[in-house]
A and B are shown apart, each in its own frame.
Chain A
Amino acid sequence: MIPEIGHAALWLAAGLALVQALAPVLRVTGLSVPAALGQAILCLIAFLALMWAFVVSDFSVGLVAANSHTAKPMIYKVTGVWANHEGSMLLWVLILALFGAVAALRARAMGERFRTILLSVQAVLGIGFYAFLLLSSNPFERIAPAPVEGSGLNPLLQDPGLAFHPPLLYLGYVGLSVTFAFAVAAMIENRVGPAWARAVKPWVLGAWSFLTAGITLGSFWAYYELGWGGWWFWDPVENASLMPWLAATALFHSVGVLAARNALRNWTVLLAVIAFSLSMIGTFIVRSGLLTSVHAFAVDPERGVFLLILLALYVGGALCLYAWRAGSVTAGAPFTPISREGGLVANNLILSAVLGVVFLGTLYPLMLEGVTGEQVSVGAPYYESALLPLLFLLLLVMAAGPLMRWRAMDLPTLGRRLVPAIAGGLVLAGIGAAIGPRSVLALVGLAFAGWLAIASLMILRGRKLRRVPASVWGTAIAHMGVAVLTVGVSVSGAMSVEKLANLRPGESTSIGPYEAVLTHIEPAGGPNFTAVRATIAVKRSDAVTMLLPERRNFTNPMNETTETDILVAADGNLYAVIGQGDGGGRWQVRLHWQPFVAWIWYGGLMAAIGGLVAMMGGRRRTGRALP
């Protein structure tokens, strides 16, 4: 019964979305806010109904039978709701409806009429996804006869990382739908200008922060759960989340220019359209199986076509509107190249180039196949050689940008402000050269990190810290985060060492600054798996730590995973994986010493926090502007 309630709630929500979409046309504007709130409540009911089916293991629901199991720990029954196609699309729709409700309550700054149109655009987006869910991916579909037991969940996905990684990414993706709706409404109403930019900025920053946190968490999950020791693999699925992130990064910087100086109007609106388009394209690429996999069984081509039609309608429609309206949006106020605006334009150009590189790399295999029929995959070497110069350039500009004045600035003044940053870069590179990596690239990376770190502190120089606006704090924190990330990438990239040793219990090996002894191997168990656990004593200047990597054998479905154990020291991570035994008493032990690798994720999280801090500031300011 409860799954049917969920199913009915979805249909009702779709009906409300139709009312909300047509409200401006039918001139029943009073209905759009209640419709938005109603949708949120109904979607929540649908989502909870599905969650209930997972929690009580109702295997008459096909989705539960395929993805759950009675022996699974409760938390993974719950996360199982969105660890599959239908459930994750329901989560997507729920977040869309919740954001719609928040927009209905909060997006008042541009007036009643604008809000009605904004909500109408938001509802048009919603209708497409309701249709997708109800017509081709119904999560509540019953199966008869119901199996007595479910077919489990991939144990790789039984991890706290999965509990938070997709929802965070979705908050980001779907948050960008609000900025998309803002952009379309502004084009329809011809209201692209500073007031619009101020109204949309918190939404961009919020979505961007969630996206940043989601990507960072995803990278960390891949690092410690997949046992590969890397943190970014240029996989199409990863790129699918990186592309909207790049567009959103460019967007909130150009929104800043539009808000402060009424310039870059066309460009900003276009970026707002592109950012959400890329998150839809990303979802499409992942969900349709266009690029990820040659294995057709997980993918339904019909769904791909459905998503592509949605994509063509929404993105194509918005871009047509852009082509029609952009001519009537007059150019903004002028500025010189050496100015805050100039810096932000440079930021946008470089980010666009980076986006182009990633986009091309992701789609190139498909294009080549179309032209020559040849199948290739584009790997890290392409991205590294194409992106490295761009990223160095970006680090160069992003340090200087916030130190520049609006409109115009003379070079000598800017130069004086940057002297400490140059010193910082030289000092960090010097320290690196003295005790750290022998790689030129890593030293250049460190120099840029030092330069950016000091420049980020310089943003706060000469200000009374208590009176610094939140948006400035946000900039400083986020830019500092990027400096921290750069240190992590440079040092771990150049100085990581890996060692594979076949050890008997009692034997030892050395790795980086550590001496490692395999003390013993023993069986271990958990709620739905059995395991072999190794105890490895690692010693560094008399401090001994025990690392306990495991190999887990899950019973349902049969699957084996490696549980790494990681020693997190101040200056790096020691990463231990236990491999196969050879039957003769030797065990394969893989050790990885990765100095400063954790700084990559610390940096990512700092950037996300910076975005949230800036968002709070933006909200308060628009709040004050209200009468």
Chain B
Amino acid sequence: MMKRLAIFVPLLMFIGFVALALFGLGKPTDRTIESQMVGQKIPTFELAGLDDAHPGLSNEDLAQGTVTLVNIFASWCLPCIAEAPTLGKLADAGVVIHAIAIRDAPEDVQRFLTKHGDPYRRVGMDHDGRTQIAFGSSGVPETFLIDGTGTIRRQYIGEIRADQVDDVLAAIAEVKR
């Protein structure tokens, strides 16, 4: 009897795996997964700027009392193009958005901003992606919500979609309070 049952064990284990995988695929793609850095002070960094209109970015700039978004992007990243109009809407709503351009060339970034819109105040050029790693980010695009004291409050992984604008504005309002 035991032997008969044992024959079904692999099948049952596999069914368990399929159930687990279905759960994994079916789970809502939560774009606000909290990283290790959320709730902590941003690390010390200083990045050169893009051009005269976009000065560089340092941790000091993010601790001036304003709630800011830091958008980690690159001109070679396709989802960043998809995200550009949404960031434009946020900027139009009065949100201060800075950018960190990952492994990018100034000309390419300028071309990107001309073509897809420019929501950014400051653009730091992160040539080797080291600042990105210090933020606890591992891909582009990602966006960090930073309060006036320079503490990371939220992290948005992947592009911010148009239907998330209200969520982001609400999150900013909450941090301001």
Contacts and interface: CB of A to CB of B under 8 A. Distances in A.
Interface of A: 151-152, 266, 270, 273-274, 277, 281, 284, 288, 290-291, 293-297, 301, 304-305, 308, 311-312, 315-316, 319-320, 322-323, 326-327, 363, 366-367, 369-370, 375, 553, 555, 557-560, 580
B139 A295 contact: yes
A273 B7 CA distance: 13
Contacts of A369: 24, 27
Contacts of A558: 74-76, 103-105, 108
Given A294-B33, A560-B127, A323 B11 contact: yes
Given A294-B33, A559-B103, A560-B128, A308 B22 contact: yes
B20 A284 contact: no
B104 A296 contact: no
Identify which of B25, B76, B79, B128 gathers the most chain A CB atoms within 10 Å of its CB: B25
B11 A290 contact: no
Given A312-B18, A326-B7, A290 B25 contact: yes
24 contacts: A151-B76, A284-B21, A288-B25, A290-B21, A295-B138, A295-B139, A296-B29, A296-B31, A297-B78, A301-B29, A305-B25, A308-B25, A312-B18, A316-B15, A363-B17, A366-B20, A370-B23, A370-B24, A553-B127, A557-B74, A558-B75, A558-B108, A560-B103, A560-B128
Given A295-B157, A319-B11, A555-B105, A301 B139 contact: no
Contacts of A370: 20, 23-24
B159 interface: yes
B18 A316 contact: yes
Contacts, number: 91
Contacts of A363: 17, 20
A366 B25 CA distance: 10
Majority SS at the chain A contact face = helix
Contacts of A553: 127
Given A296-B157, A305-B25, A323-B11, 7 more contacts: A308-B22, A316-B14, A323-B7, A327-B4, A369-B24, A557-B76, A558-B75
A304 B78 CA distance: 21
B24 to A, nearest CB: 5
A-B CB proximity, top 4 nearest: A557-B76, A319-B11, A295-B139, A326-B7
Nearest to B142: A295
B10 interface: yes
Contacts of A367: 20
A580 B128 contact: yes
Contact of A316 (B11, B33, B74, B127): B11
A557 B80 CA distance: 14
B126 to A, nearest CB: 10
A305 B26 CA distance: 9
Nearest to B34: A375
A274 B10 contact: yes
Nearest to A288: B25
Contacts of A266: 7
A274 B14 CA distance: 10
B5 to A, nearest CB: 10
A308 B21 contact: yes
Contacts of A580: 128
Identify which of B10, B138, B139, B157 gathers the most chain A CB atoms within 10 Å of its CB: B10
Contacts of B139: 293, 295, 297
Contacts of B105: 555, 558
Nearest to B130: A580
Contacts of B18: 308, 311-312, 316
A559 B74 CA distance: 10
A317 B31 CA distance: 36
B158 interface: yes
Interface string B60-103: 00000000000000111011000000000000000000000001
Contacts of A295: 138-139, 157-158
Contacts of A319: 10-11, 14
Contact of B158 (A297, A301, A304, A308): A297
Contacts of B78: 151, 297
Nearest to B22: A308
A312 B127 CA distance: 45
Given A295-B138, A366-B20, A270 B10 contact: yes
Contacts of A291: 24
A327 B7 CA distance: 8
Contacts of A316: 11, 14-15, 18
A251 to B, nearest CB: 14
A281 B17 contact: yes
A308 B4 CA distance: 28
Contacts of B104: 558
B20 A320 contact: no
Nearest to B107: A558
Contacts of B21: 284, 288, 290, 308
Contact of B14 (A151, A315, A327, A375): A315
Contacts of B4: 327
Contacts of B159: 297
Nearest to B127: A560
Contacts of A288: 21, 25
B8 A296 contact: no
Identify which of B14, B21, B33, B78 gathers the most chain A CB atoms within 10 Å of its CB: B21
A152 B104 CA distance: 14
Nearest to A315: B14
Interface string B24-59: 110101010100000000000000000000000000
Interface string B109-132: 000000000000000000111000
A304 B11 contact: no
Contacts of B33: 294, 375
Contacts of B128: 560, 580
A363 B128 CA distance: 32
A368 B101 CA distance: 35
Contacts of A312: 18
Contacts of A375: 33
A439 to B, nearest CB: 31
B3 to A, nearest CB: 8
Nearest to B108: A558
A559 B17 CA distance: 38
A320 B18 CA distance: 15
A320 B11 contact: yes
A183 to B, nearest CB: 12
A295 B155 CA distance: 13
Contacts of A281: 17
Contacts of A322: 7, 10-11
Contacts of B24: 290-291, 366, 369-370
B25 A294 contact: no
Nearest to A556: B76
A22 to B, nearest CB: 26
A297 B103 contact: no
Contacts of B127: 553, 560
A553 B105 CA distance: 10
